[in-house]
Amino acid sequence: MPNLKDLKNRIASVKSTRKITKAMQMVAAAKLRRAQEAAEESRPYAERFNAVMAGLAASVGGSDTAPKLLTGTGSDQVHLLVVMTAERGLCGGFNANIAKLARQHADKLVADGKTVKILTVGKKGRDALKREWKDSFVGHVDLSEVKRLSYADAQGIAKEILDRFDAGEFDVATIFFSEFQNVVTQIPTAQQIIPAKFDKAEGEAEGTAAIYDYEPSEEAILAELLPRGVATAIFSGLLENGASEQGARMSAMDNATRNAGEMIDKLTIEYNRSRQAVITNELIEIISGAEAL
Amino acid sequence: MADTMQFDLVSPERRLASLQASAVQIPGADGDMTAMPDHAPTITTLRPGILRVESAEGTSEYLVTGGFAEIGAGSLSVLAERALPVTEVNREHIDEMIEEARTAHAETKESGDHTIVDDAAKLLADMEALGTHMGLATESRAAAP
């Protein structure tokens, strides 16, 4: 049986761990609210954007002059996987789930004889994929200095991807992020951004409602907007990720706090039992000492 | 004919305005246009400039750069890459934007592609005109190419 001093130390240590996880949970809750607001604020833009793009893509998509970003390069040999994860850990399975999805995707592509290139956004995804896919890494975007995610950050990532696309480094680009459902559910998602795919159902409803005049021309507008579509997709992915990360951390820390509480209860019972045993022992010693006289 | 239309101004980061407007002046890529209710459905890209919204509450102005406007029969949505109410714009914003445009101009000059250089030059000119328009012109303007 461990002695009293050790037990006391262990209880104190678990107690301070609980304080830390509790604090982290509350910080995550506050950040989650902000991240969720940011995600919601960006939604009207993304929705309108996709609706307009779907209409445009449907009318221009068939022609031979359609931009490569929409129709693709005509091959799908080289795939770029953009894996977007958090910069920090201690958020449950959040980073691991995204990395797992990306890994499955990459395995499948390689099995099909394709070439895989990986661009990581966020340190944790890079760490998770480093062992198996180190040779496929083509770049890394560090967001650890970014306090509040802005559209300019997404534009930066989009520019890097588009530059590579223009240089003919890949044919198909897919982004990996976690879609925020609620605090306990985050769904790792893969979304193809190049060649661009737009929500058709929404687009058709929009397209039949009105026939638009285009200024300058349909092709010119499409050519200008497609690169922005990449940035928009990345931006909403990053925002979803931000909310998911905080949600995942909040529930992970909630669990940790609860586990610490249980552990403290168990240790306290053990502590009290051994204290009682010591007292009983001492009493026996005293009584038998008195009888011996 | 309706007197007003639903006007929405959204940037990727937030929704700036959602109100009933009677007329909206849009800085289109091919020239300014004013959209009023029952305008023919049009989609136009934007150049950097001032978006002027007239509504029952008065006129409000927004500085917008890049993006596009979607004009429908009873509604108008402006999706701007960057948008700010004019009242919030200060000299630093303009300086920053001019600086960005200038860097882009300088970068494209080296690439030697004329259409891109022209585009960047136009962007730079637009930015500077904007600064002048708002009375925020900087002394560095004199040094502009």
Q: Over the stretch A238-256, which tens digit does the pLDDT of each residue have? A: 999 999 999 999 999 999 9
Cα–Cα distance, A39 to A241 (Å, whole number): 9
Looking at beta carbons, which residues of chain B come within 8 Å of A209? Answer: 72
Task: Report the SS3 class of residue A289.
Answer: helix
Tokens of A65: 């002059």
* Nearest-CB residue to A45 (from B12, B43, B66): B12
Once rounded to an integer, what is the mean pLDDT over residues A133-148?
Answer: 85
Measure the CA–CA gap between B52 and B18, rounded to whole angstroms: 14
Q: Is the dihedral of CA A66, A68, A72, A73 positive or negative?
A: positive
Choose the weakest-confidence range: A69-83, A128-142, A189-203, A277-291. A189-203
Q: Do B68 and A221 touch (CB under 8 A)?
A: yes
Residues in chain A, how many? 293
Over the stretch A37-77, which tens digit does the pLDDT of each residue have? Answer: 988 888 888 888 888 888 777 777 666 666 778 777 778 88
Which tops the pLDDT comparison, A29 or A61? Answer: A29
Q: Give the pLDDT confidence score for residue B136 in this predicted structure.
A: 54
Question: Hunting for tokens 């893969």 — which residue is that?
Answer: A190
The pair of three-digit structure tokens given for residue A142, joined into one six-digit string: 């560090």
- Top mean pLDDT of A110-114, B95-99, B107-111, B113-117 is at A110-114
- Give catalytic status of residue A91 as yes or no: yes
Contacts of B72 in chain A (CB under 8 A): 209-210
Interface of A with B in 78-137 (CB under 8 A): none
Q: Is the pLDDT of residue A263 over 80?
A: yes
Distance from CA of B72 to the nearest CA of A (A): 7
Catalytic residue among A53, A66, A91, A239: A91
Query: Among partner residues B10, B29, B30, which is closest to A48 by beta-carbon distance?
Result: B10
Tell me if ipTM is over 0.85: no
State which of A167-176, A201-210, A248-257, B11-20 shows the largest mean pLDDT. A248-257
- Rounded average pLDDT over A273-284: 94
Q: What confidence score (pLDDT) does residue B72 get?
A: 82
The pLDDT-based confidence of A199 (bands split at 50, 70, 90) is low
Q: Where are the domains of chain A?
A: 40-249
Q: Decide: helix, strand or coil at residue B28.
A: strand
Model-level pTM?
A: 0.83
Look up residue B16 and give its two tokens: 């700036």
User: What SS3 class is residue A206?
Assistant: helix
Prior bond of A195 cis (ω within 30°)? yes
Q: CA separation (Å) from A17 to A13, A75, A86, A253, B89?
A: 6, 54, 23, 11, 47
**Residue B38 C-alpha, separation from nearest chain A C-alpha, in angstroms:** 12
- CB A151 to CB B12 under 8 A? yes
DSSP letter, residue A212:
P
Q: Label residue A202 by pLDDT band (50, 70, 90).
A: very low
* Closest partner CB to B15 (pick from A44, A212, A221): A44
Q: How many CA atoms lie within 13 A of B126 on its CB side?
A: 25
% of chain A beyond a pLDDT of 70? 93
Could you tell me if B54 lies within 8 Å of chain A, comparing CB atoms? Answer: no
Per CATH, the number for A40-249 is 3.40.1380.10
What is the per-residue pLDDT for A201? 43
Is the pLDDT reported for residue B117 higher than 70?
no
Secondary structure of B52-102 in the HEC alphabet? EEEECCEEEEEEEEEEEEEECCCEEEEEEEEEEEHHHCCHHHHHHHHHHHH
Answer yes or no: do B45 and A154 touch at CB < 8 A: no
What pLDDT was estimated at residue A63? 64
pLDDT score for B145: 45
The CATH number of B5-87 is 2.60.15.10
- The mean pLDDT of chain A is 87
- pLDDT attached to residue B144: 44
Q: Does A44 touch chain B (CB under 8 A)?
A: yes
Window 140-159 of A, Cβ < 8 Å to B: 150-151, 154
**Packing angle, helices A4-60 and A200-209, rounded to 10:** 40
pLDDT given for residue B104 in this prediction: 73
Q: What is the DSSP letter of A222?
A: H
